[in-house]
Structures are given as structure tokens and as C-alpha cells.
Chains A and B, each alone.
Chain A
Amino acid sequence: MSRFNRFTLTGLVMLALLIIAPVVIAQTDWSGGLPLLTRIVIYALAVVSLDLIIGYGALVSFGHAMFFSLGGYVVAVLLHHTNMGDTIFGWEGTNSALLLWPLALLACALLGLVVGYLALKTRGVQFIMITLAFAQMVYFVLVSLQYYGGDDGLMMDMRNTMPSIQLDDPWAFYYLALTLLVVWVLFCRLIVNSRFGLVFQALRQSERRAVNLGVNPLPFRLTAFVISAVGTGLAGILWANYAEFVTPDMATWAKSGEFLAIVTLGGLGTLLGPIAGAAVFIGLEQILTIWTEHWMIVMGPMLVLIALFGQQGMLGRYLKGGRHD
């Protein structure tokens, strides 16, 4: 029971901090606070999704940036056509988030399905590399999309619209992103503890045992992979709306690596740890860049130290400890 309590307690503390932080920062004259928090929340959404398959399924994807970029590109491209007055296969387009976002998520799910199906034929290092390969392919496709700006990326003239929520208002946008994060974490938590989740985790701990209990590994891993792709895609959608432009940058291996680093930093298989990881990683990057342009000379060794001594990331020990006995 204590594990449940620790998760709930940590989750509530984080939520309280994320709710209050912008209000507190607004009292100071630091204008970068809200955008920084928004970035943290969006990244958190992506890395929580990644943690779902790495932490609970040992599926180390080095290509999750492809879903991040796809989510963003789908909304940006559709918005672009709508604003240009083009029709898309006879459809005049829309700017409504309620329509565009599910569409983008569907695209991510389909890509996840295809990539997952092929990649899950391999394991371990080969899985890491084949996901990377697919992400690189997506990256090169995006770079070669001349019509959508190619390497320079595509501007969005406005954010999507949503009934009764002003996405253009930074406060409303932040709290919307935060709400989505909360919902997503709760959903992931539900999955982890579900009948599906039990099997999925069993596959990580002992595939042979699970198979001899009659489990066919592929559908379970594929389902989790697709769910993870959708979550990362949602983060991409939010990112596109936050930044109001998308670039192939979103699909580089460095971005995928960043996601991996954040998950590890926060603590694998904890769902909440990666959120703390995102806050620390992005916060640190922000603080260090303000301090010196040679910030990497500090950031680098910090990552090394975390890998060497933070055996389970920042929150791994705490959130995983105290279970059974």
C-alpha cells in the first residue's frame, strides 16, 4: 500500500507545484517563467509516454522524436492549407483543435503501428537502432517537404481553436497542457495496473515465463508502443501550438536522445520521475544558458554524474521503494 501512497503523495505535490508555480512567478518580474513551465509540461507529456514502454516494457526507443514531429506537422500542415484557402481532398479544412488533434493522434497511432510492428521483430540494441533508423527516415522526409518549408520548417499563423478555451492566452494554454498531462499520467497509471499492464510488465521481467503462460508478446508490446506514440504525438501537437511553428528539428536523433536522457534522469518505470526529470533538465538548460554560453561544460558532467550515481534516477528509489515488505 505504501507504494500507492508514495505515488499519490508525489503526484499531488507535483501537481500543486505546477498549479501554483506560474502564479508565484507572475508576482516576480521574471517573464520567462510561464513559457518555461509550458515547455516542461509539454516535454513531460512526451517522456511519460516514453517511460511507459521503457520503464515498464524495456522497449528502448531511440526514435520517439518521430512521433513528436509527426503530431506537430499534421496540425501545422492542415492549418496551413486551411489558412491558404486550399481544400484538402475536397475538404475545406478546419482550425478546430477538437478535429485536428484527434486526426494528428490517429496519424501517430498509424505510424506507431507500422514502425512498432517492424521494429518489434528485434530486441535490445537492435531495437534501439531500428527505431533510430525509422526516425531518421521521418527526418529526411520532413527535410525534403519543400512545400512545407523543408529544412526551415513551417510557420503556423495562429494556434488552433477550441470552444471556450483561448489557446492564444498563455495562461489558458499552460493549464490546458497541464490538464492533459494529469489525464495522461492517470491513464498511464491505469494501464500499468490493468490486466493488460500486468502482462506487459511480465514480458519485461521474464519473457520466457510469460510466453509459457500463453502470452503472445507482439500484440501486447505493439499496443503499448502505439499508446506511447500517441502520447508523444500529443506532446508534439502541443509543442507546435506553443511554438507556432514546426521544424524537422523535432525529429532529430538528438531530440530522441534528449527524451531518453530525461526519462533516465527522472527514474525509469515511475511515470512521475520523468516529469521531475523534464523540470530539472529543461530548467537546468535554461539557467545554465543564462549563466554562460559554455553551459555544456557543466551540463555534460552533470549527466555523467547522474548516470554514475543516480542509480535509479531522481525519483526511482523513492517511488519504487517501500513496495512489498
Chain B
Amino acid sequence: MTEAGVSAADVSVLSLDQLHKAFGALKVTDDVTLEVRSGEIHALIGPNGAGKSTLIAQICGEMRSDAGRVSFKGRDVTDLSAFKRARLGLGRSFQTTQLCFEFSVLEHVILSLDCMEGGSFNLVANPRNDAALREEAMHWIGKVGLTGRESRQVANLAHGERRQLELAVSLARKPHVLVLDEPMAGMGAEESARMVDLLGELKGEYPMLLVEHDMDAVFTLADRISVLVYGRVIFTGTVDEVRRNPEVRSAYLGDEAC
């Protein structure tokens, strides 16, 4: 990995400033500061129970933080609810797939496109019959490699295909950052490889915060990596720096690293 070029593109898109969250006496996230810069894939790794899921919930607005700030595109969004953050361009995928299983692939992407402004109260027009929407939806379906599957019901998709659809649903909204919560979870080797390729293609177009256990994928894709242990970021740096850091090795990577 080369050092990411220092340029105007290096401005921070998403930044977390001293975020805290505790359940009773248990500090789940503790003083987390972290930023995702435009164009980079920033990976977040850490053992189970490190607080990754809680952190994502705080970023996306599903959970209120006890203290600290979340800024998105230079704007303080700490007090905004989840749907408002989404409207600003915060896209995400979920650890366990969150999709509308009764829709077809096409319907789902159309839904995503139709919700750019938070959804419509038009009680009459059928968005499925909107040629422009269909065409755009097909574009995103093609982008994630689901062409030919567009009329299949989401419930009947294979696991990997659902992950691809989640990506399409997020991409269709032209997000300014993508928060991906273990996109490779539960995938076979082949599916994982395809997902890595796909994310690699998207790299540079969308800044991403990638939470992932698959270290091969992380080292292939990430520009920078933050390590979260017991709710604290113990280290942030480039891939090589992380590999070299003894603290990280002992705390987390250990034998898993290579």
C-alpha cells in the first residue's frame, strides 16, 4: 500500500469526536475519535464485543450518544435522527441483512430512488410504471451485478445476492459516505471475493467506513485502519502501520493477523 496522496480530496467527510456510550456501568464506546476522509476506505476492526455495532448505531443515529459529536460533511449531526442523517447522504448496510423481503429486486431499488427526499405522499402514481425510475434502477442493479435478477423476490435471493442488493439500494441514493457493517459476513469464499472486487471498483467513488472481520478483505481494500478494543480506538494508521504496531498485534491481531 502506498501512502494516500495528500490533496484537497483529503477533507474529512465523516468525523467522530470523543463519542461515548454506556449501558449502566458498562462503557461500550469510550472516547472514540475517528474520521473518514473523502475517497478513502477506512476500516474498523476489533474483537467481538469491542463496541463496533454500537458505534455504528451512534453514527447512523439509531442510538443516542451519551457524549461527543458526530459531524457529517462538516455539519454537526449529533442530534439528528436516523432518517435525517440518511437524507443528508449517509448510506449503510447492516450486519444482518435489512431488506424488504416481499419486494422484487427492481421494486426495492425503485423504492430507494423514490425516497431520496424522504418518500412521497403521492397516493396515486405507481412508481413501478415510471420509465425513468426503472431505467435508473436497472443501472444500479447492473452496477452490483444483479442484472437478470431484477424481477426476483428478495426473499428468494441467495445470501450473497442480498448483500449485493443492499449495496445497490444504498448506492442508488448516491451517498456521500457508506457505512458497511460486515458486508462479507456469512459469505462463502467465492461470494466474498466477488464482494471484495465490487468494493474495490467503488473505491474512490465513495468514501467508506468498513467494519469487517475478514482480514484479507480489510488489508486488500482499506487505506487506513482503526482498531477498536473495549470501546476505545487503540490505534489508527495505514495498513502497514497497523501490521507493524506491536500494541495492535498483542491486543487483537495476534495469531489471526497472517
Which residues of A are in contact with B by a Cβ distance under 8 Å? 190-191, 193-199, 201-202, 205-206, 208-217, 219-220, 223, 323-325
Contacts and interface: CB of A to CB of B under 8 A. Distances in A.
A199 B111 contact: yes
Given A213-B173, A324-B156, A202 B92 contact: no
Contacts of A212: 60, 82-83, 86, 91-92, 98
A323 B83 contact: no
Contact of A195 (B92, B112, B114): B114
B100 A205 contact: yes
A214 B117 CA distance: 7
Interface in B160-200: 169, 173
**Across chains A and B, which 6 residue pairs bring their CB atoms closest together, nearest first?**
A205-B100, A195-B120, A214-B87, A199-B119, A324-B153, A214-B86
Contacts of B205: none
B223 interface: no
B151 A324 contact: yes
B115 A215 contact: yes
A261 B153 CA distance: 29
A219 B122 CA distance: 13
A220 B94 CA distance: 23
Contacts of A197: 123
6 contacts: A193-B128, A197-B123, A205-B103, A212-B86, A212-B92, A324-B152
Contact of B115 (A205, A213, A219, A325): A213
Contacts of A193: 126, 128
Interface of B: 60, 62, 81-84, 86-87, 91-92, 94, 98-104, 107, 110-112, 114-128, 151-153, 156, 169, 173
Nearest to B119: A199
A212 B118 CA distance: 10
Chain A interface mostly: helix
Given A208-B98, A209-B99, A215-B118, 5 more contacts: A205-B99, A206-B98, A208-B94, A213-B86, A325-B156
B124 A198 contact: no
A198 B124 CA distance: 11
B9 to A, nearest CB: 26
B111 A198 contact: yes
A257 B193 CA distance: 53
Contacts of B126: 193-195
B118 A214 contact: yes
Chain B interface mostly: loop
Contacts of B152: 324-325
Nearest to B117: A214
Contact of B123 (A194, A201, A213): A194
Nearest to B96: A208
B124 A194 contact: yes
A211 B103 CA distance: 17
Contact of A190 (B115, B116, B124, B151): B124
A127 to B, nearest CB: 20
Contacts of B94: 208-209
Given A201-B102, A205-B101, A206-B98, A213 B125 contact: no
B142 to A, nearest CB: 19
Contacts of B112: 213
A201 B60 CA distance: 22
A86 B134 CA distance: 59
The CB with the most chain B CB atoms within 10 A, among A199, A212, A324, is that of A212
Contacts of A214: 83-84, 86-87, 115-119, 173
A216 B110 contact: no
Contacts of B87: 214
Contacts of B101: 205-206
Contacts of A190: 123-124
Contacts of B169: 209, 213
A252 to B, nearest CB: 32
Contacts of A194: 122-127
B103 A202 contact: yes
A191 to B, nearest CB: 5
Nearest to B100: A205
Contacts of A201: 100, 102-103
B90 to A, nearest CB: 8
Given A215-B115, A216-B83, A216-B118, A191 B123 contact: yes
Nearest to B155: A324
B111 A213 contact: yes
Nearest to A224: B123
A236 to B, nearest CB: 22
B111 A206 contact: no
B47 to A, nearest CB: 25
A206 B99 contact: yes
Contacts of A195: 114, 119-122, 125-127
Contacts of A216: 81, 83-84, 118-119
A206 B118 contact: no
A224 to B, nearest CB: 10
A325 B91 CA distance: 30
Contact of B119 (A205, A220, A323, A325): A220
B51 to A, nearest CB: 19
A161 B234 CA distance: 78
A17 to B, nearest CB: 28
B114 A199 contact: yes
A215 to B, nearest CB: 5
